[in-house]
Chain A
Amino acid sequence: MPILEGKELHIIGFLCNWCSYGGADTAGVGRFVQPTDLRIIKTPCTGRINPLFIMRAFLNGADGVLVSGCHPRDCHYSQGNFFARRRLEVLRALLPVVGIAPERFAYTWVSASEGQRWKTVVERFTEQIHALGPIPAFADPGRIETCLRGQANPYGGSHALTA
């Protein structure tokens, strides 16, 4: 049973298909124990990650967002992570202006063989997010947050996210 069960926060991970997703898989195959707050979304490349993905996640109530891809010069598509690095670094400046602690967002590079590194990244990032606590919520929760926080779906759908 996860140590933090019941106290978990929402952390969204955008991982590239070729390196970090493989790295997370390696960590799993190696049976490394990791915090379970992270929900992984696989993308073809970090270059595919629109900074708006991250902003949408935060505004929808994610407490942290982690982006991980191939190490620089190791990108499967040669250049994707170089473009991503610039975009994500620019995005970082927007977060504090809208009142989101910039520490809630991080990006890093993990290769498919670095299972141990992946475990470290997940542990450190989860610690960091737990130190910050839940993200400020809108006074009117609106339907997305109501669904995300696992309360009854006001729109009657059966799946929490299909409302």
Chain B
Amino acid sequence: MPSRLEELKDGIRKALPDLDMVLAWGQGPDSLRRKPLFIVSQADIDKIVWDPCCSPNLAGYLTGLRGKKVGIVVKGCDCRSVVELIQEKLVDRAEVTIFGLHCEGTIDPAKVRATLPGDARGAFGDCRVSDGRIRFASDTSLQNLAASDAFYDKCLHCSDPNAGFCDYFIGERGTPPPVSTAPPDALERLEAMGLEERFRFWEQAMDRCVRCYACRNACPLCVCKDHCLAQSRDPHWVDQTDHPREKLMFQVIHALHTAGRCVECGECERACPMGLPVMALKRALNRQINELFDYRAGLDPEAIPPLFTFREEEDRIGEKKWS
């Protein structure tokens, strides 16, 4: 039986003649990271890598490639981003060919380096997942890590690791990781604090923020390009001063602009050079939207997003009583 990677390469090989480009992952700067691979010729196909280190979400490139026939390789969360882009008509369904995969979780290099002793850069060779543990074979040793010590938090709380909406599904579908065993994510850790403590948490976190806007630039749904509120002087939503207030305001803008759209792919946190848990804000909004409107983003390209519509009588919204 061919491996998943071979199956994926075969699929792309067959589809490539009809496409201008295929987006996949290739070798990255070190053994724990992969970078986007833009396949335009058959020779590029051999450079494809598929393993738990393929964390980048490639969906963000689609909006810049409109008008071209593009193939894209997606994990479960990436697929939801693509669905969201199609739903919002930012990407034309007819122009994209989706190769879906089942994802076992993606490696957080920072976590792995924190867990394993010594300078790990370049020391990991092969990386495999079996029985919920991650095995790294290096030149000299074999390391074995629990999923919670190696995967991104978002992967431990993944709702569906299978690409649910695709033209070609490669390999077999799998089940999401058990939530009961997952350690608390950033939102749960925040909610264990008191209100004042949460405010201080963000104050300190935003004090560390370098305001590079990597979170925004990595977000596949941040599509305003040159019209981002963060750079607008009129209206002047965000001040240029280096103050936690302004940086928190930007995070709030990002969260509210992706409310009901964010698929929790985790790109904002992955891109953050300071390791700030900025996705917690988006998770809180998504949870509320799910509770109020029974809606999750990225599942149905035909769905009407809940904030684009209303009901005269809302089932789950009560009116405040004053007396």
Contact status B243-A140, CB under 8 Å: yes
Inter-chain contacts of B199 with A (CB < 8 A): 98-100, 136
What is the CB-to-nearest-CB distance from A138 to chain B, in angstroms, rounded to a whole number?
6
Inter-chain contacts of B201 with A (CB < 8 A): 99
| CB-contacts of B173-211 with A (<8 A) | 187, 190-191, 195-203
Is B306 an interface residue, CB under 8 A from the partner?
A: yes
1/0 contact trace for A84-96 toward B, CB 8 Å? 0111011111101
Inter-chain contacts of B239 with A (CB < 8 A): 144
1/0 contact trace for B230-258 toward A, CB 8 Å? 00000001010101110011001101100
Contact status A55-B252, CB under 8 Å: yes
Chain B residues with CB under 8 Å of chain A are 187, 190-191, 195-203, 237, 239, 241, 243-245, 248-249, 252-253, 255-256, 259-260, 280-281, 284-285, 287-289, 292-293, 306-307, 310-312, 314, 317, 319-320, 322-323
| Between-chain CB contacts (< 8 Å), 27 pairs | A56-B237, A59-B252, A72-B312, A79-B310, A82-B310, A85-B310, A89-B314, A90-B259, A90-B307, A92-B288, A93-B284, A94-B252, A94-B284, A94-B285, A96-B195, A97-B190, A97-B280, A97-B284, A98-B202, A98-B248, A99-B196, A109-B319, A121-B322, A136-B199, A138-B243, A139-B203, A142-B245
Is A77 an interface residue, CB under 8 A from the partner?
A: no
Is A32 an interface residue, CB under 8 A from the partner?
A: no
Is A101 an interface residue, CB under 8 A from the partner?
A: yes
Task: Tell whether A99 pairs with B197 under 8 Å between CB atoms, given A89-B317, A90-B288, A139-B203.
Answer: yes
Partner of B198, one of A51, A56, A82, A99: A99
Chain A residues with CB under 8 Å of chain B are 51-52, 55-56, 59-60, 72-73, 79, 82-83, 85-87, 89-94, 96-101, 106-109, 117, 120-121, 124, 136, 138-140, 142-144
Inter-chain contacts of A143 with B (CB < 8 A): 241
Partner of A83, one of B190, B245, B287, B310: B310
The 9 closest A-B pairs by CB, nearest first: A99-B199, A93-B288, A99-B198, A82-B310, A97-B284, A142-B243, A136-B199, A55-B252, A124-B322
Q: Identify 12 new A-B residue pairs, CB closer than 8 A, beyond the known A52-B237, A85-B310.
A: A52-B252, A52-B253, A56-B237, A83-B310, A90-B292, A94-B281, A98-B199, A98-B281, A99-B200, A108-B319, A124-B323, A136-B195
Contact status A86-B310, CB under 8 Å: yes
Inter-chain contacts of B314 with A (CB < 8 A): 85-86, 89
Contact status A89-B322, CB under 8 Å: no
Inter-chain contacts of A85 with B (CB < 8 A): 310, 314, 317
Partner of A107, one of B249, B306, B320: B320
Contact status A138-B245, CB under 8 Å: yes
Q: How far is the CA of A108 from the CA of B249 in the complex (A)?
A: 25
